Amino acid sequence: MTVTVKLFGMLKTQLGTGSELTVTLRQGGLVNDLIAAIQAMNPVVGELLLKKKVLVSVNHDVADGDVELSGSDEIALLPPFSGGSRGQGG
């Protein structure tokens, strides 16, 4: 089974694949299998996924490692967000 993973922020540069990454998994593959495949491609990004500094989203929900994937799932890697609300004042 082939899944397409959307990439955002620094992950586009880190993986060098543009805004999407295509990964082949066994039928019934899990998020953990996806993480292992990405770690084999890029150990730095794989380590970020294992440490949960980068999260895996499946169909707009953050997914645990035991979530089963299908080729029709919308999968994204979510890097750490920077910024946030600024203090009021001025």
Tell me the domain boundaries of the chain: 2-78
- Cα(90)–Cα(74) distance, rounded to whole angstroms? 42
Dihedral, CA atoms, 62, 36, 16, 79, nearest 10 degrees?
30
- Residue 10 vs residue 68, higher pLDDT: 68
Say if domain 2-78 classifies as CATH 3.10.20.30.
yes
Asked if residue 17 has pLDDT above 90, the reply is: no
Asked if residue 84 has pLDDT above 60, the reply is: no
Residue 17: CA atoms inside 13 Å, Cβ hemisphere, count?
Answer: 16
Q: What is the tens place of the pLDDT at every residue in 24-51?
A: 999 999 999 999 999 999 999 999 999 9
Residue with tokens 């295509």: 22
pTM above 0.85, yes or no: yes
